Amino acid sequence: MNRKVKEMPVSERPYEKSLKYGVETLSDAELLAVIIRCGTKSLNSVELSREVLKQCGGRDGIAALERRSIEELKKLKGIGSVKAIQLKALNEFAKRLWRSRRSPDEKFTKPSSIALYYMEDMRRLPGEEVRIMCLDNSCALIKDFVLSRGTVNASMVSVRDIFLNALKFEAVKLVMVHNHPSGDPTPSKEDILITQKIIKAGVLMDIRLADSIVIGDGIYISIRERRLAEFY
């Protein structure tokens, strides 16, 4: 029979456990229970959280929730619109907190600093996404924008849109960043073709593509570092 959270031993209640030992001692399910607050008629919040994580695959823990859209979360037993939005808002809060810790005056001169800047945002996206960084002469970020979402295809990436935005933001250099949902950042032939296409256009526009970074799950590859395309 289901027990309400208040009927559980004090040592097992997420709120009391947090106050006594710290939030960092909570399991994924307990942490999730604090966020969603209430369960269902048949499951308390901790039991519901365990069931949600189980339905999402179990092995990836909370990370599995990040890959799901609001509509996909609503299909999980016990999760309605409000709880689905709470979970996605939590993901977004974590991403913004991560980004806010970066210095606004940071210089993006190394592939590692670029990859670190985008890793938490892009490592678990459900589909491929292409972002363009517009940099000034000192490699400080002026503006970045999403160029496309979906399968990265040379025919779908608009070089025209890249350079219209680059001119709009008065960029001197560009960096293309995109992710591989598989988690493997090994550049495909298509990735290299697109990179080379932008490099050539940049020479004509006098706005250099400084690098093309592929984001995987916690790892990245710089096409420039690997010398997979001819940069100028």
Spell out the domain ranges in the chain: 5-99, 103-222
Q: What tens digit of pLDDT does each residue of 177-201 get?
A: 999 999 999 999 999 999 999 999 9
pTM: 0.69
Residue 44's contacts (CB-CB under 8 Å, 6 or more residues apart) are 2, 3, 4, 5, 8, 33
What is the pLDDT at residue 37? Answer: 82
What is the pLDDT at residue 41? Answer: 80
As a whole number of angstroms, the distance between CA 16 and CA 42 comes to 22
CATH homologous superfamily for the domain 103-222 = Cytidine Deaminase, domain 2 (3.40.140.10)
Find out whether 103 and 139 touch, Cβ atoms under 8 Å. Answer: no
The CATH code of domain 5-99 reads: 1.10.150
Query: Is residue 101 pLDDT above 70, yes or no?
Result: no
Mean pLDDT, rounded, of the chain: 87
Is the pLDDT higher at 39 or at 200?
200
Report the pLDDT averaged over residues 139-151: 89
What is the pLDDT at residue 59? Answer: 60
What is the pLDDT at residue 9? Answer: 67
Query: Is residue 1 pLDDT above 50, yes or no?
Result: no
Report the pLDDT averaged over residues 104-108: 80
Say which amino acid occupies 74.
Answer: K
Residue 103's contacts (CB-CB under 8 Å, 6 or more residues apart) are none
